């Protein structure tokens, strides 16, 4: 890992290489069902599109979670304690954490993200706006092993994982990922996590099919990215965004569907598609409070508090490592 001090904050880089993208996309398209790992959504353009998704009127999770954070920040401070170190895997634009910083007054803030340039500018923004705060950004794939040896020993790590990103793991993988967070936080450490609830299917359907087409553009950007970085020749106009709620599995499924018979080349590898063939790009699992609590307990957490909005759309959980 390379470590650099940049104006006002520390930066470490252990992000995946384009060779990983090449290998994973070729593997993912070579077996059925075809998949592309969702972590590759988040290049510069993808990170920008994702922020725009969060502002779409149909996408209720962001604004609902923000109002929960605003409303309950004093309770969160009590649970986090007076000397906490806030660690945020998949920090993106670092916007939500701003709602916590002045009240929680953590000793250190550690944003972790796969999108390096995006992380640098977001971390620089936090360092500039909170001069009293020690910021240590790490560019990394959060599903790989992350070592945070620079966290001061006396501080209580509190993991902050908003956005219902936990729903993007299959439940077994979610338990494994939560167990990693528990490991980083250590006994007595905290986890503040946002979880999207099961609800009326129409609301879910619309949230992932915004009328502005931003989610569609975000999904299709995976193919654009492969064209940009891997010399692939996806005809992006011949694929369509498809998102639908699978009630048996309790998840929104996101696909890219080929609209015609076509062959795609990626550096000498050929992939044939018929009209209607899918590339499965992402799942977003929805959990009742009970279902999520059970997962978190399997990962070694004890539930402390759950806050939800009056419409019951979204929950914010605070848990502690048992």
Q: Does the footprint of ligand TRP cover residue 315 (CB under 6 A)? A: no
286 to 305, contacts with ligand TRP by CB under 6 A? none
**Contact status: 254 vs ligand TRP (CB under 6 A):** yes
Does the footprint of ligand TRP cover residue 282 (CB under 6 A)?
A: yes
Q: Which of 156, 219, 258, 293 binds ligand TRP (CB under 6 A)?
A: 219
Alpha helices by DSSP H, listed for 81-158, are: 98-104, 116-129
Strands of the chain (E only): list them: 2-6, 9-14, 34-35, 84-89, 108-113, 134-140, 156-161, 190-196, 239-246, 251-258, 262-266, 269-273, 278-285, 301-308, 314-321
CB of 164 to ligand TRP, least distance (A): 5
Stretch that binds ligand TRP, among 113-121, 157-165, 223-231, 288-296 (CB under 6 A): 157-165
List 245's β-bridge partners, or say none. Answer: 252
C-alpha distances in angstroms, 146 versus 1, 24, 85, 235, 307? Answer: 11, 20, 16, 37, 29
In whole angstroms, the minimum distance from the beta carbon of 210 to ligand TRP comes to 9
Instruction: Tell me how far, at minimum, the Cβ of 20 lies from ligand TRP, in Å.
Output: 19
156 binds ligand TRP (CB under 6 A): no
Q: Which of residues 100-119 bind ligand TRP (CB under 6 A)?
A: none
Out of 167, 171, 189, 300, point to the residue binding ligand TRP (CB under 6 A).
167
Structure tokens at 83: 């000397």
**CA dihedral angle for residue 159, residue 200, residue 294, residue 296, rounded to 10 degrees:** -10
Q: Which stretch binds ligand TRP (CB under 6 A): 6-14, 96-104, 175-183, 214-222?
A: 214-222
- Output phi, psi for 9, to 5 deg: -155, 165
Task: Candidates 218, 287, 314, 318: give the one binding ligand TRP (CB under 6 A).
Answer: 218
- Measured between alpha carbons, how far is 149 from 276 in angstroms, rounded to an integer? 48
Q: Which of 61, 111, 189, 190 binds ligand TRP (CB under 6 A)?
A: 61
Structure token digits, residue 42: 């988040």
- Tell the smallest beta-carbon distance from residue 274 to ligand TRP (Å): 24
In this structure, what token pair is assigned to residue 256?
Answer: 């890219």
Q: Is 46 in the site for ligand TRP (CB under 6 A)?
A: no
What is the smallest separation between the CB atom of 83 and ligand TRP, expressed in angstroms? 30
Q: Collapse the DSSP code of 84 into the 3-class scheme (helix H, G, I; strand E, B; otherwise coil) and give the result.
A: strand
Q: Given candidates 215, 221, 278, 293, which one binds ligand TRP under the rule CB under 6 A?
A: 215
Q: Are the beta carbons of 283 and 208 closer than 8 angstroms? A: no
**Any contact of residue 221 with ligand TRP (CB under 6 A)?**
no
Whole-angstrom distance, CA of residue 266 vs CA of residue 73: 48
Q: What residue ranges bind ligand TRP (CB under 6 A)?
A: 53, 61, 163-165, 167-168, 208, 215, 218-219, 254, 282, 284
């Amino acid at each position: 890992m390379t470590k650099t001090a940049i104006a006002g904050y520390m930066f470490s880089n252990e992000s995946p290489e384009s060779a990983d993208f090449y290998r994973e996309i070729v593997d993912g398209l070579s077996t059925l069902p075809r998949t592309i790992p969702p972590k590759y959504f988040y290049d510069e353009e993808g990170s920008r599109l994702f922020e725009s998704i969060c502002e779409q009127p149909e996408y209720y999770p962001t604004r609902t979670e923000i109002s929960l954070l605003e409303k309950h920040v004093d309770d969160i401070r009590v649970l986090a304690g007076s000397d906490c170190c806030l660690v945020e895997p998949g920090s993106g634009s670092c916007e939500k954490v701003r709602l916590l910083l002045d009240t929680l007054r953590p000793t250190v803030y550690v944003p972790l993200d796969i999108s390096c340039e995006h992380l640098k500018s977001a971390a620089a923004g936090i360092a500039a706006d909170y001069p009293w705060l020690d910021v240590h950004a790490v560019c990394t794939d959060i599903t790989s092993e992350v070592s945070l040896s620079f966290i001061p020993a006396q501080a209580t790590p509190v993991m902050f994982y908003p956005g219902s990103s936990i729903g993007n793991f299959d439940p077994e993988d979610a338990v494994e990922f939560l167990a990693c967070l528990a490991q980083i936080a250590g006994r007595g450490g905290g986890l503040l996590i946002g979880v999207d609830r099961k609800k009326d299917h129409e609301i879910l359907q619309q949230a992932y099919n915004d009328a502005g087409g931003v989610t569609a553009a975000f999904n299709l950007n995976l193919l654009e990215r492969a064209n940009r970085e891997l010399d692939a020749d996806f005809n992006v106009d011949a694929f369509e965004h498809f998102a639908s709620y699978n009630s048996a599995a309790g998840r929104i499924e996101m696909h890219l569907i080929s609209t015609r018979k076509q062959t795609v080349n990626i550096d000498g590898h050929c992939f044939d598609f018929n009209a209607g063939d899918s590339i499965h790009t992402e799942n977003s699992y929805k959990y009742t409070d009970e279902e999520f609590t059970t997962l978190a307990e399997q990962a070694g957490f004890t539930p402390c508090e759950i806050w939800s909005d009056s419409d019951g759309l979204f929950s914010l959980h605070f848990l502690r490592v048992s």
